[in-house]
Structure 1
């Protein structure tokens, strides 16, 4: 076998397209013709469906929600009473957590409230977190977790961070409980699972701004509404993980439970859930991280805390304060992430070792002693303001210096990319008629997954047409598409390099971890300060936010190329470059495609955020609907974003499956 023979064993990335090259070429020609034709040549209905043929879904949704809030009744109480009562119920644990961590025990509300007892001292919270870190992961984790919370105190972010943490410690457990219960129900009832799956797809792809509006209508403005929005955003991964974990329980364990005479309920609670615990704890980690990602958006409906600080700084273009608050969220996220991961990794070992009661007793004694001391020694209760450090002036001055000295350079780069890349692509996309686009995605679906996938993607592509959102949808596809391409061109080479070099990966991994934990709003602050508002600024923020999956999946794919293929290539005389080009990259391509899929999802989720910097797409429609409390318009625009996301997910997923099947065949042949 020669090096060329090894190459033939690996499927080419475009193998599945070869039978349809004529169709692809035809679609390309038709798209170019549509772009070059003067305005008015194509019928007007191909660009925008006449109003009489559209469905008034936004009007129906707004009317239905208005009826629910104003007229719906159950006899003894109204629907509004029900939702407000539910909000009051959730407010009880939130008030308790806020009293313990942030405000202390208060008598009354607002400015007239009197503090009856102070919150936990900062030293107590830092000590508790460090102790948990030591128990879960040893001295290194104790230093990391304790140091992260100490950072919040030293840099003056303690009060806001504790308010944010109060919401997280309530929203995350509730999201975990709801997700676990729903996942168990979906596992036990296949019909329910088929119903749940598309709902989860919508929950994870509809922009969060879109369902903030109905939450405001139903639950009012305030921390409870923000907590409910956080739960809705964070629960879906727990549902999916629960169903997958229960399905993955070894058959022998299930048979053992059956032989022991367990009832269906005992089988779930006593056998399967304990067996699936490691996988379930991964879902717990995801809920915590998504809850933290939601803090800024939740601040728009009354959450407060660090998210509100970032949002306020963005509105004022105060880059220093915004970055400080954003980094505080990152620090808090890293601490909670490492603690939850360590707990998940060592849960069984700690259960076997025991010693929980002495640990909890010692922790309670430490908290009690520090709390009593804090009543008499103010520096123990609150970190001294005189010792606090602020980096806000440094960041603000740094941006000003960059603007003064490099404004012409940045402006030239922005203008060049805008005129030579963004605007031509934008004009091309906006010129495409909807019948042609629907035909193209339908053909792609048919080639990749058959008639069923084709029908799904065509139906989703027609949804923006019949709801009158086609122009905004194509604007979204343009900005998201070009951002994903740029992110992939940057991220995939970096990921490949990291996959080849463990030393380089040790540097790359913490960098992309930071990018994934930074709140999406934070990316807008430096982008706006350096490049002002517009499509280029939006693209830059989207690329920074969405590049991490391309890096991570590319590195993972390269590291997991079968050893037998590498050995076959080496024995046949392949150089390192030939091995990378003809073996590693083609074999890793299915994994790389999954990374691009995740990049698309993150880019779409960022589009609503970029509406704040002047974009004119579906994200702006969702944001404007939020400011005007137009529920129907916001949800319809959000569903259009979800349609784009699901089309991309299904097509890319089908392509990855085809390539993976071809790769398996090539490995078997080798």
Structure 2
């Protein structure tokens, strides 16, 4: 609509492109045409352009494996070896973990192994439920207390208590360590820009390399068991805390910093008495992210000895027992919801100053909730000592929905097998297989050049060089063919997730009640362990690419919905009213105004959808995909550090290229809108 395009609030009005922009666009078009031409001409161009020559490959996997063997067997730090250092660190982590596990699950034992005798019982399940209810009441009032009591009560009623407490013990150790290390690294990055530039690529790799890829070196260095799993959890969960710390400290108003300098604060006082308290709200968001990512790790951590709910889900997947897997998965969701709401409530509470003087009060009056919590712990230990029925809920009192879920899947298979098989076959023959062949036959030289020019077009020379170099390294390390399979599955899954998520987000943005219900579904999807998605997909569609696609779409659709709603709800109402005043129809307001203004946030949603899809692709290696995820998983089973890390780096490179390009595109759109 011409009048909308000409209006000052429209994103359509643009200036003439600069000569460099016109040149980059022309170059991008030419290279794209050459790529298609090369694909059409086929082998006549030269086999090297399609299959990277083996003689040119970088033997990165062999070098990494050799370096790892040297590190484990020969590296010395003077009086002790590097392995001694890592095992010492594992021993330090094991001390608080053993204490937490003893309090919550096993009790305090005397002796080793099967000869161990319980001296002091664990906390009663009733005591733990009362304790978390007390924390909820202190942080958020009655509603939050009721919510966390219901979540922990769910764990007890459905027979998941023992496993949940093992998982909670790991979380209680991993989260404080991750928060402290992330805070210290974030402070260093904020204070010294050189440190920030040095750790930023490491943080990118920590967040994008599949966790499977570095399970093998963790096992070599830290041994098999819960402490190694906690180390893996820290690597996965710590980066958001570092990033949020840097952003939070930079967001502290300059007036507060100036006030600290005026009163004569030293550097240490300025950091811990002024900056950190002022950034407490942002830092608590980082704590929340560490908690949620730690919970996302529980299943993968169970592969190296963590146990708990993650092990239950993994065992159910191996048996294809969908009922048991769902129950353990929903138990993880209940635990995640309780911890998420508690951390958010404490984050809000941290910004509210305490009211009332502490003078003239005794210790109990100054800290009533802490005193009550200690009393609950002591009474709970006493109750467990006196009555086994209070230590753990008797099996006769528990419920189970496992049979119900198994019967639901069986009923669907019996009544809808033909329809499901027709859908599977149609999509395989007409979409998945043709697109997979198309990508596999593209020349790597042309794709690398195309990505380099696209990066230059979106973000300048630096992004162009980054995209070209990373894509070239994928080919040069011998991962190109599997990378194309990864891109094919990820691309189709992201398109389908967007086709589902964006329309749902558009509808929900206009209906508050629908959005509230949809948020519950999204939160459940994002906290449900990724392995749980595989079980119904395998039981309905067997193994293969289509099964992986279904699981990836189910896991990755949440950010597409969330960011679409976020972008549309942030559109200035005055802009919408101006459009109505100009006579725009509802469809024109949506397409010409709202969607254009919300496009940057929607692109960030696309970015997150890609990240979710890539993280799920590694999990789908368990159902027979032949991509980089399978390469990582095979390396894990063979304890081949080099092979796993090289394949993991290839996944990380794909993620980084997509992230940087989409972020650059979103930034350009924001500049045009502003």
TM-score, normalized by length of structure 2?
0.96
> What pairs with 1:593-604 in structure 2 (closer than 5 Å)?
593-604=603-614
Displacement of 1:391 after TM fit?
A: 0.4
Residue of structure 2 equivalent to 1:280: 283
The worse-fitting range, judged by mean Cα deviation, of 643-652 and 28-37 is 28-37
Aligned-partner Cα distance in 2 for 1:376–1:392 = 33
> Given that residues 11 and 659 in structure 1 are in contact (C-alpha distance below 8 angstroms), is that contact kept between their aligned partners in structure 2?
no
**Superposed CA offset, 1:273-320 (max 9, x none):** 000001100000000000000000000000000000000111111101
Residue of structure 1 equivalent to 2:70: 67
Aligned-partner Cα distance in 2 for 1:462–1:585 = 35
Aligned-partner Cα distance in 1 for 2:549–2:175 = 32
Q: Give the counterpart of 1:654 among 656, 661, 664.
A: 664
Aligned-partner Cα distance in 1 for 2:102–2:380 = 17
Displacement of 1:451 after TM fit?
A: 1.1
Residues 164 and 15 (structure 1 numbering): CA distance in 2 closer, same or farther, change over 3 Å? farther
Aligned-partner Cα distance in 1 for 2:403–2:15 = 52
Matching of residue 554 in structure 1 with residue 557 in structure 2: no
> Given that residues 5 and 12 in structure 2 are in contact (C-alpha distance below 8 angstroms), is that contact kept between their aligned partners in structure 1?
no
Aligned-partner Cα distance in 2 for 1:13–1:509 = 36
Displacement of 1:506 after TM fit?
A: 1.2
Residue of structure 2 equivalent to 1:606: 616
Residue of structure 1 equivalent to 2:400: 390
SS at match of 1:116: strand
Aligned-partner Cα distance in 1 for 2:165–2:121 = 13
Displacement of 1:74 after TM fit?
A: 2.5
Residue of structure 2 equivalent to 1:567: 577
Aligned-partner Cα distance in 2 for 1:246–1:400 = 54
> Given that residues 24 and 456 in structure 2 are in contact (C-alpha distance below 8 angstroms), is that contact kept between their aligned partners in structure 1?
no
**Superposed CA offset, 1:582-605 (max 9, x none):** 000011001100000011111111
Matching of residue 11 in structure 1 with residue 12 in structure 2: yes
Residues 4 and 201 (structure 1 numbering): CA distance in 2 closer, same or farther, change over 3 Å? closer
Alignment root-mean-square deviation, CA: 1.8
> Given that residues 179 and 238 in structure 1 are in contact (C-alpha distance below 8 angstroms), is that contact kept between their aligned partners in structure 2?
yes
SS at match of 1:351: coil
**Superposed CA offset, 1:396-454 (max 9, x none):** 11111111111111111001011111111100110111111011111111111111111
The worse-fitting range, judged by mean Cα deviation, of 464-473 and 102-111 is 102-111
Q: Give the counterpart of 1:577 among 548, 572, 587.
A: 587
Aligned-partner Cα distance in 2 for 1:246–1:3 = 41
Aligned-partner Cα distance in 2 for 1:535–1:108 = 50
**Superposed CA offset, 1:204-242 (max 9, x none):** 111111111110111111100000000111000000000
Residues 12 and 43 (structure 1 numbering): CA distance in 2 closer, same or farther, change over 3 Å? farther
Residue of structure 1 equivalent to 2:296: 293
Matching of residue 318 in structure 1 with residue 321 in structure 2: yes
> What pairs with 1:376-415 in structure 2 (closer than 5 Å)?
376-415=386-425
Residue of structure 2 equivalent to 1:668: none
The worse-fitting range, judged by mean Cα deviation, of 76-85 and 115-124 is 76-85
TM-score, normalized by length of structure 1?
0.96
Residues 15 and 208 (structure 1 numbering): CA distance in 2 closer, same or farther, change over 3 Å? farther
Residues 336 and 162 (structure 1 numbering): CA distance in 2 closer, same or farther, change over 3 Å? same
Matching of residue 420 in structure 1 with residue 430 in structure 2: yes
Aligned-partner Cα distance in 2 for 1:449–1:20 = 11
Displacement of 1:44 after TM fit?
A: 1.8
Aligned-partner Cα distance in 1 for 2:352–2:136 = 15
Q: Give the counterpart of 2:44 among 29, 41, 46.
A: 41
> Given that residues 100 and 119 in structure 1 are in contact (C-alpha distance below 8 angstroms), is that contact kept between their aligned partners in structure 2?
yes
Residues 19 and 553 (structure 1 numbering): CA distance in 2 closer, same or farther, change over 3 Å? farther
Residue of structure 1 equivalent to 2:455: 445
> Given that residues 320 and 535 in structure 2 are in contact (C-alpha distance below 8 angstroms), is that contact kept between their aligned partners in structure 1?
yes
> Given that residues 9 and 575 in structure 2 are in contact (C-alpha distance below 8 angstroms), is that contact kept between their aligned partners in structure 1?
no
The worse-fitting range, judged by mean Cα deviation, of 311-320 and 49-58 is 49-58
Displacement of 1:503 after TM fit?
A: 2.0
SS at match of 1:48: coil
Residues 577 and 7 (structure 1 numbering): CA distance in 2 closer, same or farther, change over 3 Å? farther
Aligned-partner Cα distance in 2 for 1:182–1:203 = 14
Q: Give the counterpart of 1:206 among 209, 215, 218.
A: 209
Q: Give the counterpart of 1:142 among 142, 145, 156.
A: 145
> Given that residues 25 and 457 in structure 2 are in contact (C-alpha distance below 8 angstroms), is that contact kept between their aligned partners in structure 1?
no
Displacement of 1:23 after TM fit?
A: 4.7
> What pairs with 1:433-472 in structure 2 (closer than 5 Å)?
433-472=443-482
Aligned-partner Cα distance in 2 for 1:43–1:277 = 60
> Given that residues 483 and 603 in structure 1 are in contact (C-alpha distance below 8 angstroms), is that contact kept between their aligned partners in structure 2?
yes
Q: Give the counterpart of 1:163 among 161, 166, 169.
A: 166
SS at match of 1:243: helix
Aligned-partner Cα distance in 1 for 2:67–2:162 = 40
**Superposed CA offset, 1:247-292 (max 9, x none):** 1110011011111111111110111000000110000000000000
> Given that residues 548 and 623 in structure 2 are in contact (C-alpha distance below 8 angstroms), is that contact kept between their aligned partners in structure 1?
yes
SS at match of 1:45: helix
SS at match of 1:629: coil
SS at match of 1:11: coil
**Superposed CA offset, 1:141-164 (max 9, x none):** 111001100100000000000000
SS at match of 2:291: helix
Residue of structure 2 equivalent to 1:432: 442
Displacement of 1:18 after TM fit?
A: 8.0
Structure 1, unpaired ranges of 5+: 665-670
Aligned-partner Cα distance in 1 for 2:104–2:228 = 20
Residues 547 and 378 (structure 1 numbering): CA distance in 2 closer, same or farther, change over 3 Å? same
Residues 313 and 13 (structure 1 numbering): CA distance in 2 closer, same or farther, change over 3 Å? farther
Residues 84 and 436 (structure 1 numbering): CA distance in 2 closer, same or farther, change over 3 Å? same
Q: Give the counterpart of 1:256 among 256, 259, 268.
A: 259
Residue of structure 2 equivalent to 1:367: 377
Q: Give the counterpart of 2:338 among 332, 335, 339.
A: 335
Aligned-partner Cα distance in 2 for 1:121–1:635 = 43
> Given that residues 13 and 586 in structure 1 are in contact (C-alpha distance below 8 angstroms), is that contact kept between their aligned partners in structure 2?
no
The worse-fitting range, judged by mean Cα deviation, of 210-219 and 15-24 is 15-24
SS at match of 1:352: coil
> Given that residues 12 and 586 in structure 1 are in contact (C-alpha distance below 8 angstroms), is that contact kept between their aligned partners in structure 2?
no
> Given that residues 137 and 144 in structure 2 are in contact (C-alpha distance below 8 angstroms), is that contact kept between their aligned partners in structure 1?
yes
Aligned-partner Cα distance in 1 for 2:159–2:53 = 56
Matching of residue 177 in structure 1 with residue 187 in structure 2: no
SS at match of 1:115: strand
